[in-house]
Structure 1
Amino acid sequence: MSKQTLQLHSTVLSINSLDVDADIPAALLKLPLFFISKTQDELSIFCPSSFKIESLDTESDWQALKVVGQLGFSLIGIMTNIPGILSRAKTSISSTSTYDTDYILVKKQTASLALNALKKDGYNVVAQ
């Protein structure tokens, strides 16, 4: 039986580290795909690499794998299973969740390895 469907976004992303009090560029909010995380210690923004942000540090060449469909909060194990498979495949990840679903970010150069490992484990993987 097939597990969740994962959709690989073609957009290449960068993660940017900003000063905790930095302003978030207004133009960023108009982009179709970005993730912002802020704590008392840091401000991080994943966004398309083509969108330039004044940042303290940047790491590029990430791609997002979206878990397709709305995931109820009662579902258990999704963010344990997928990272576990990718860890065994020696693939570095970052992950984030939205209200509706989860995203697993993989380095572009290891995306094929990640996709093959997920397919082998029964996940349906599609391109955007």
Structure 2
Amino acid sequence: MSKQTLQLHSTLLSIHSLDVDANIPSALLKQPLFFISKTHDELSIVCPSEFEIQSLDTEPDWQALEVVGPLGFSLTGIMANISGVLASAKISIFSISTYDTDYILVKKQTATKALKALKNDGYNVVAD
């Protein structure tokens, strides 16, 4: 039985760490894909690498694997299985969830290996 479909996005992303009180650039909201998260300790932004942000630290060259959704809140184990497959293949991930779906970010240089591992585990993987 086939598992979820994953779509590999071609846009290279960077993960930024900012001071917790930093301003979020308004131009970021015009980007086609971005994620913002904030806690009492940190502010993180994931956005296209070509979008420049003044940040404390940056981790570039990530690609997003989108779990094609929408996914219901009653579904369980999706991220656990995908991350387990990638961990077994020794591939580091950065995961992000939205209301409708999940994104698993992998480094550009490990994307081919990640796709192979996921396909071998029964996932349908497509590229944009």
> Where on the TM-score scale, by shorter chain, does this alignment land: which range?
over 0.9
Structure 1 runs (4+) greater than 3 angstroms displaced: none
Q: Which residue of 2 aligns with 1:4?
A: 4
Identity over aligned pairs, percent:
79
Size of the aligned set, in residue pairs, is: 128
Q: Which residue of 2 aligns with 1:88?
A: 88
Shift of 1:121: 0.3
Shift of 1:92: 0.4
Q: Which residue of 1 aligns with 2:51?
A: 51
Alignment of 1:68-107 (within 5 A): 68-107=68-107
Shift of 1:69: 1.5
Shift of 1:52: 0.2
How far apart are the structure 2 equivalents of 1:56 and 1:50? 17
**Stretches of structure 2 lacking an aligned partner (at least 5 in a row):** none
Aligned to 2:45, what secondary structure does the other structure show? Answer: strand
CA RMSD of aligned residues (A): 0.4
How far apart are the structure 2 equivalents of 1:97 and 1:56? 24
How far apart are the structure 2 equivalents of 1:43 and 1:69? 27
Q: Which residue of 2 aligns with 1:125?
A: 125
How far apart are the structure 1 equivalents of 2:120 and 2:42? 37
